[in-house]
Amino acid sequence: MQTQNLIGGRWVGADSGATFAVTDPATDEHVADVPKCGRAETARAIGAAQEAWGAWRSKTAAERGEAVRKLAELMVRDQERLAGLMTREQGKPLAEARGEIAYAASFLTWAAEEGRRLYGEMIPASFANKRLLVMRQPVGVCAIITPWNFPSAMITRKLGPALSCGCTVVIKPAEDTPLSALAIGELCGEAGIPAGVVNIVTGTPAEIGDELLSNPAVRKLSFTGSTQVGKLLMRKAADNVLRLSMELGGHAPFIVFDDADVEAAVAGAMATKFRNAGQTCICANRLYVQAGIYDEFVGRLTEAVSCLKVGRGTDEGVQVGPLINDAAVEKVEAHVADARERGADVLFGGQRAHVAGGADRFFQPTLLAGVTGEMRLSREETFGPVAPVRRFMEEAEAIAWANDSDFGLAAYAYTRDASRCFRVAEALEYGIVGMNDAAPSTAQAPFGGVKQSGIGREGGKYVMDEYTETKYVSWGVSGA
């Protein structure tokens, strides 16, 4: 297990020798100590990325793509080891961790290919003696700040395209899950990615962040995390007018119409709500179910929720692991308590779950009915295994409720009516719509939000715009 930081191709500790502990959220067991770095180490990492940039951007797209593709292969080769590490520091069930490693590698594979297609353009000029060219060039040194809920995929979704476009990076992973990031850093060396192209710094977020956002060598911030921290970073990034990619919080509505395939809708709700114990940015936060199908849907959902197995991610058959930390459990408890006080009925769960030998950080898969719009869980991300259900009468009502949010990341709808599919998909003010599909995220499609869910898109051909500058060359041609 790699526990040091990666700066300029060397594995190093903090200047002060200080460390912080990484613990298993399922058991509170100590997993490792990693460096507690600050501004000085971050400045050196930026310097290394700046120094490495010239040679890296000069390589051909095919050469860079080859290294990125190799990194993907190594992640797949080490899938079992990386998944085990992830489950220990993050808590998600091993099967989900394996899935995340494959998903993380898919962003690298996609970006490795897409880098070969960074085409320019020739624009017809208004004068015979001019040629107008457009070329795409790498942005430069990129700061990458990532969350704990997908400790590998949120890195590779940025790292793959950044490297393929010819950028170099400094990564700051979440304090809860630094080991998955450091493991990727190790594989970067094996993949032949030159020293200084990828740097990883762990430690005090505000200190590392302040250096990343004020150092003039950094040209871009790519952030995934909460809207609250995202706004703070955007304010700080303003001083250097940094380019921004912001993947922020979500509050996904999940709408089930009377004409839906109920079985598919229940399966979809289960998949999107309880994956990663409800700790995903695109997980359903509000289930709106039309009156005609309400009783059947809620009955089947209650049955499915009651069958979920809660436990340590390493235990066989576990589907819901622990929440990431104590604050996360307290937030889920507060949301459920608020909903109950305001009249919601608990159809299943509703409190912490006891797991033998486990920490006090598990929450029962929970189903709430009688939910109303003013409850906290109708407006804020719960980030836990709680499914609040609300009955609606008309399509317009469900759309209005769905759009009544500051967030706009993902939304879901289940219906068999093709015309309604289009109407609803167009009316939802969200960056991603899962239409009869609860798992829309994939490497070749654009991922990102509107409103306070963010700026920019990751995935697909679209992500390449985030790591390239558009340069225009107006060329005078004599004798033409």
- C-beta of 233 vs 359, nearer to ligand NAP: 233
Q: How many C-beta atoms lie closer than 10 Å to residue 449's C-beta? A: 26
Which residue from 82, 154, 252, 428 is in contact with ligand NAP, where contact means CB under 6 A?
A: 154
Q: How far is the CB of 383 from ligand NAP (least distance, A)?
A: 6
User: Would you count residue 61 as binding ligand NAP (CB under 6 A)?
Assistant: no
Q: How far is the CB of 234 from ligand NAP (least distance, A)?
A: 11
User: Would you count residue 206 as binding ligand NAP (CB under 6 A)?
Assistant: yes
Instruction: Say if residues 432 and 411 touch (Cβ distance below 8 Å).
Output: yes
Q: How far is the CB of 320 from ligand NAP (least distance, A)?
A: 18
User: Would you count residue 248 as binding ligand NAP (CB under 6 A)?
Assistant: yes
Q: Does residue 247 carry a catalytic annotation?
A: yes
Q: How far is the CB of 21 from ligand NAP (least distance, A)?
A: 13
Q: Does residue 281 carry a catalytic annotation?
A: yes
User: Would you count residue 8 as binding ligand NAP (CB under 6 A)?
Assistant: no
- Of the candidates 96, 281, 283, 458, the residue annotated as catalytic is 281
User: Would you count residue 18 as binding ligand NAP (CB under 6 A)?
Assistant: no
- Of the candidates 41, 247, 395, 466, the residue annotated as catalytic is 247
Which residue from 91, 93, 147, 384 is in contact with ligand NAP, where contact means CB under 6 A?
A: 147
Binding residues for ligand NAP, total number by CB under 6 A? 29
Measured distance CA(412)–CA(268) in Å, rounded: 9
The three-state DSSP-derived secondary structure of the chain is: CCCCEEECCEEECCCCCCEEEEECCCCCCEEEEEECECHHHHHHHHHHHHHHHHHHHHCCHHHHHHHHHHHHHHHHHCHHHHHHHHHHHHCCCHHHHHHHHHHHHHHHHHHHHHHHHCCCEEECCCCCCEEEEEEEEECCEEEEECCCCCCCHHHHHHHHHHHHHCCEEEEECCCCCHHHHHHHHHHHHHCCCCCCCEEECCECHHHHHHHHHHCCCEEEEEEECCHHHHHHHHHHHHHHCCEEEEECCCCEEEEECCCCCHHHHHHHHHHHHHHHHHCCCCCEEEEEEEHHHHHHHHHHHHHHHHCCCECCCCCCCCCECCCCCHHHHHHHHHHHHHHHHCCCEEEECCCEECCCCCCCCEECCEEEECCCCCCHHHCCCCCCCEEEEEEECCHHHHHHHHHCCCCCCEEEEECCCHHHHHHHHHHCCCCEEEECCCCCCCCCCCECCCHHHEECCECCCCHHHHCEEEEEEEEECCCC
Chain positions 103 to 142 lying near ligand NAP, rule: CB under 6 A, are none
Q: How far is the CB of 430 from ligand NAP (least distance, A)?
A: 12
Which residue from 47, 91, 185, 209 is in contact with ligand NAP, where contact means CB under 6 A?
A: 209
User: Would you count residue 96 as binding ligand NAP (CB under 6 A)?
Assistant: no
Q: How far is the CB of 44 from ligand NAP (least distance, A)?
A: 18
> Residue with the closest Cβ to ligand NAP?
209
Which residue from 244, 281, 323, 368 is in contact with ligand NAP, where contact means CB under 6 A?
A: 281
Stretch that binds ligand NAP, among 68-76, 221-229, 292-300, 337-345 (CB under 6 A): 221-229
Which residue from 225, 349, 358, 459 is in contact with ligand NAP, where contact means CB under 6 A?
A: 225
Q: How far is the CB of 441 from ligand NAP (least distance, A)?
A: 9
- C-beta of 65 vs 459, nearer to ligand NAP: 459
Which residue from 78, 381, 395, 466 is in contact with ligand NAP, where contact means CB under 6 A?
A: 381
Residues belonging to the active site: 247, 281
Residues found near ligand NAP in the complex (CB under 6 A): 145-150, 154, 172, 174-176, 205-206, 209, 224-226, 229, 232-233, 247-250, 281, 381, 409, 449, 454
